[in-house]
Amino acid sequence: MSFKIPKLPYSYEDLEPFIDKKTMEIHYTKHHATYTENLNKFISGTDMINLSIEEILRRAHIEVPGIRNNSGGYYNHNIFWEILIPNEKFENPSINFSNILERDFKSFNSFKEKFTNLAMNCFGSGWTWLCVKNKKLTICSTANQDNPLMYGMGCEGIPILGLDVWEHAYYLKYQNRRIDYISSFWKIINWKKVEKNYINNIK
């Protein structure tokens, strides 16, 4: 099989003013599309052509860097797009998911603070994740296009929410102000999708 870039569930401008139209268009049609194209090139003619993206990620550490980087870039962006939502459709986490966040992080504010700090302190390019591990929620960061499904990340789990902190995700609008980008991220999270991801991965 070959992988296809998924259709966005909103238009490029729908996340404004939090993520601008130009950044969305470049991020999706250039960065994500290139990871997808390169992944298909790297796995063409190999036994990996019949694997799911999750299976590829779990063995990416023994493959050439091109497979690791592009499989991560493909998967990570899929997660990122699906957990965003236009601000006018934004809803806070449900009572059920709020209780789960409180169970594992003491409070929503504690979770938000910890996640924000990790995202701010992710040196260079990378991602910050909310994951499910043994039916509990954990937070971690990975460098480059790595993610928690890969071997030896030190933050193993199943990602249910991810924040892209590569500069290409925010630099046109926010320049070096990563904290402003992270603050905006909290206003466009699709908590219904995040909760659904959680439920699907505790079965």
Residues 92-116 have pLDDT tens digits of: 999 999 999 999 999 999 999 999 9
Helix (H, G, I), strand (E, B), or coil: what is residue 143? strand
Buried b (16+ CB within 10 A) or exposed e, 26-60: bbbeebbeebbebbbebbeeeebeebebeebbeeb
DSSP-assigned letters across all residues of 24-83 = HHHIIIIIIHHHHHHHHHHHTTSGGGGS-HHHHHHTGGGS-HHHHHHHHHHHHHHHHHHT
Which of 184, 140, 191, 142 minimizes the C-alpha distance to 19? 184
The CATH number of 20-203, from 3.40.50.300, 1.10.357.10, 3.55.40.20, 3.40.605.10, is: 3.55.40.20
Residue entry with tokens 């193993």: 156
70-94 pLDDT, tens digit each: 999 999 999 999 999 999 999 999 9
| Mean pLDDT, residues 163-182 | 98
Q: pTM for this structure?
A: 0.96
Distance between CA 118 and CA 45 in Å, rounded?
A: 39
The full set of domain ranges for the chain reads: 20-203
Q: What φ, ψ does residue 12 adopt, rounded to 5°?
A: -55, -35
Q: What percent of the chain has pLDDT over 70?
A: 100
Distance between CA 159 and CA 133 in Å, rounded?
A: 9
Q: Write down the pLDDT at residue 1.
A: 64
